Amino acid sequence: MSLLFSPLRIRSVTFPNRLWVSPMCMYSAVDGVAQEWHHAHLTQFASGGAGLIVAEATSVVPEGRISPRDTGIWNDEQRDAWAPVVEAIHHRGGIAGIQLAHAGRKASTWWPWADDRGSVPEADGGWATVAPSAVAFEGFAEPVALDADGIERIVIGFRDAARRALDAGFDVLEVHSAHGYLLHQFLSPLSNRRSDAYGGSLEHRARLLLRVVDAVREVAGSGVPILVRISATDHAEGGFTPDEAATVAEWAIARGADLIDVSSGGLVAHQRIDVHPGYQVPLAATVRQEGGIPVSAVGLITDAAQAEQILADGSADAVFAGREWLRDPHFGLRAAHELGAEVVWPPQYLRARWR
């Protein structure tokens, strides 16, 4: 029997398989409100056999957006725009998750296909950014270091966003603490120069992430799965390390998270990454083995046999893919066909099941 197409139960949710859609920013929102694009983009994966579909990094406060075109969930209009997307995913038999995020010093930037790069000026719709310390990402505007009140607003923002996400119908919540965004900025000594209770030792640098997990779990209750995405290394000297990631992952699980979504990088522009198929899988394996906790792997996972082997090797409990779902929104059905796995096909697509 295929491991990739075996079910996985986390709290009250049973995932029909372990091939999941990674959150991917679409840069297509208006004032943080999801549009028709998001509806069509996300619901197609439910028809394509995804075990879990996680909506893109969605900001918990206005100033937390990566770009002015990012989605948000800090107000009820945004919540209400997400609700029909989730309903459509459910109608097609899918499970819907959302990634709750704050970009910190990497907020207020141009979207990838804009003519400009770097920070968006306030005159063009940008805003002042915040971070653990007044240390800019290379080429971006210098952020304002968060004070105690600012940190409290971050925690409240995640809590309120989690409540709105559940009201919109989402089944799974993911806390974004990777790719150089705010919670990752607190974790790494390269961006966190604080000397208070949120800086210095690993325990202090992890404090904000753990407070956010506490707040989200309080809202989620006992039944909703909570994932935490981390960058297990900064790929830069003096940065966050895999051993530290395993320790923080253990702490997050103890505070109410259920699975650690292991990625890497994004904190500094001078990172050096050897990118190749499955290049982040060993990081997931390290966190899983050292922490003894459930993890998912992600990063250039592009075919069924590769994904199956990751699970067979014991490197991860589930697999996130991104690019391959964009190339083929029915990646799940294709992978099941290639592995000879028995899965539920939409009746409209049954003619493609056997030949």
Split at pLDDT 50, 70, 90, the class of 354 is confident
- 247 touches 210 (CB < 8 A): no
- Please state the domain extents for the chain: 8-352
CB 310 within 8 A of CB 278: yes
What are 330-348's pLDDT values in tens digits? 999 999 999 999 888 999 9
Whether 125 shows a pLDDT value over 70: the answer reads yes
Q: Tokens at residue 188, please?
A: 């790494």
Q: Dump the DSSP string for 47-113.
A: HTT-S-EEEEEEESSGGG-SSTT--B-SSHHHHHHHHHHHHHHHHTT--EEEEEE--GGG-SB--TT
Fill in the DSSP letter of residue 119. Answer: B
Nearest to 320 by CA among 352, 295, 283: 295
Q: How many residues does the chain have?
A: 355
Q: Which residue has better confidence, 355 or 315? A: 315
Q: How confident is the model at residue 100 (pLDDT cuts 50, 70, 90)?
A: very high
Query: Among candidates 83, 87, 60, 84, which has minimal Cα distance to 71?
Result: 60
* Residue 71 CB-half CA count within 13 A: 28
Sequence-ordered list of residues with C-beta below 8 angstroms from that of 23, at least 6 positions apart, any chain? 54, 55, 56, 57, 97, 98, 99, 174, 176, 229
Cα–Cα distances (Å) from 139 to 119, 135, 136, 233, 291, in that order, read 8, 11, 8, 21, 36
Across 53-71, average pLDDT: 98
Q: Which residues on neighbouring strands pair with residue 263, listed in sequence order? A: 231
pLDDT at 229 over 90: yes
- For residue range 235-280, list pLDDT tens digits in order: 999 999 999 999 999 999 999 999 999 999 999 999 999 999 999 9
Q: What is the pLDDT of residue 188?
A: 98
Q: One of 27, 181, 279, 349 is an active-site residue; which one?
A: 181
Question: Is 349 known to be catalytic?
Answer: no
Which residues lie closer than 8 Å to 322 by C-beta, 6 or more apart?
21, 22, 24, 298
Q: Where are the alpha helices (DSSP H) in the chain?
A: 36-47, 76-91, 148-167, 182-187, 202-205, 207-220, 242-254, 281-291, 304-312, 323-327, 331-339
Q: Give residues with Cβ within 8 angstroms of 177, minimum separation 6.
A: 183, 184, 187, 209, 212, 228, 229, 230, 231
pLDDT digits (tens, 9 = 90+) for 15-40: 999 999 999 999 999 999 999 999 99
**How many CA atoms within 13 Å lie on the side-chain side of 328?**
12
Which of 200, 175, 228 shows the shortest CA–CA distance to 59?
A: 175
Residue that is written with structure tokens 């006992």 in the block: 222
- Give residue 355's pLDDT band: very low, low, confident or very high (50, 70, 90): low
- How many other CB atoms are there within 10 angstroms of residue 149's CB atom? 7
Say which CATH architecture domain 8-352 belongs to.
Alpha-Beta Barrel (3.20)
Q: What's the half-sphere exposure (Cβ side, CA atoms, 13 Å) at 73? A: 29
pLDDT of amino acid 249:
97
In this prediction, residue 62 carries a pLDDT of 98
In angstroms, the first-to-last Cα distance of the chain is 20
pLDDT, tens only, 157-196: 999 999 999 999 999 999 999 999 999 999 999 999 999 9
Beta bridge partners of 229: 176, 261
What average pLDDT does this structure show over 105-112?
97
